[in-house]
Amino acid sequence: MQVNASPRTRGFAHALVHADSPAELVERVAPAVAVAVRDTGAQVALAVPDPVEEMLRAELEGDGTGVGRLTSLTRSARESGQTVAAWRARELRALASAGRPVVVVAAHDAELDGVDGGFWIELEAALNISLAGLPVTQLCVYPRLPLHGAVGDAAVANHPLQLRGGELVPNPGHRTPAEVLEAWAFAPPHLLGPPDERFTYNTFELARVRDTVEDATRACGFDPIRAEDMVQAVNEIATNAVEHGSSEAGFAVWTRGGELVCEVHDRGTIELPLIGLAPPHPSQARGRGTWIARQLCDSLHVWRAEDGTHVRLLARA
């Protein structure tokens, strides 16, 4: 695959593909994937609905394609787009560590749309941050007219490239993640009901936050290592809130059947809630907290509201 423009530096190539059926999807992406494997020795990974994956495997793993084994990437209907983007970065970073580039075929799945299609809008914007610099080409397949019009419009805005005639070409409709999230507002995470405990704290009361999380991990049956990870993750976020958000912050915790949820809220404002998705540079003195927390818990979601900035962390035993 070549881009009809000046040569790009090695890194993430994020391309939109339009297809209205699984058969058209296979017809459009399979030749491009085969060329990438032949020309660069790329590995192939899939993040598509199960029926589409079966069709792609039948097409790409057949004799003579040279594609070899395909890797299935994690998909989830429970987590936010930014959390899935963080997972995707971990998985693809591990694949790319083998020294070969990766081609990903991803496809829109209407079952993950939710009430407003916000999952896809946030996911694609977040991928532009979490996968930046990685030797990954991702072909994202969307229908031309999805159920939620915002999904189709934001898909154009989120992709710097488009696949046309078997080649990747620049997309003039591309917008930055900040512009995308400003243009397409979507619902915050679902409400959790009354918490087991809620309180406010300041810089001198961070020990109370840590002690509360430690008690909650025991109630959820976490092993000592998992408990330590969650305490550290929450401490990173709780510290950020009172150091950079507001002098006092709110903390709430929910425990339910081996699952622990913690939420931190401060009155500060945040320009782009997609923080902590890209690994900090070794020379970067600050800004590591949210990145560390994302690596330690199962899910971390940041969102802004009229009353400030919220961060929800989730871990399972």
Does a structural domain hold residue 6? no
Does a structural domain hold residue 285? yes
Residue 179 and residue 237 in one domain: no
The 8-class DSSP code of residue 74 comes to P
Distances (CA, A) of 101 to 31, 61, 106, 169, 233: 17, 18, 16, 19, 31
CA pair distance 116, 207, nearest whole angstrom:
39
How many domains does the chain divide into?
A: 2
Question: Which structure tokens are listed for 263?
Answer: 């939420």
* Mean pLDDT value across residues 173-195: 92
| Cα Rg, the chain, nearest whole Å | 21
Which CATH number belongs to the domain containing residue 85 in this structure? Answer: 3.40.50
- pTM, two decimals, is 0.92
Q: Which helix (H) or strand (E) holds 211?
A: helix 206-219
Does a structural domain hold residue 188? no
> Which pLDDT value is given to residue 61?
78
Which residue segment(s) compose the domain that 292 sits in?
Answer: 197-316
Does the pLDDT of residue 130 top 50, yes or no? yes
Residue 150 and residue 241 in one domain: no
Residue 131 and residue 267 in one domain: no
76-121 pLDDT, tens digit per residue, is: 778 899 999 999 999 999 999 999 999 999 999 999 998 889 999 9
Those residues with Cβ within 8 angstroms of residue 92's Cβ, 6 or more apart along the chain or in another chain: 45, 73, 102, 104, 131, 134, 136
> Which pLDDT value is given to residue 196?
97
Does a structural domain hold residue 191? no
Residue 17 and residue 135 in one domain: yes
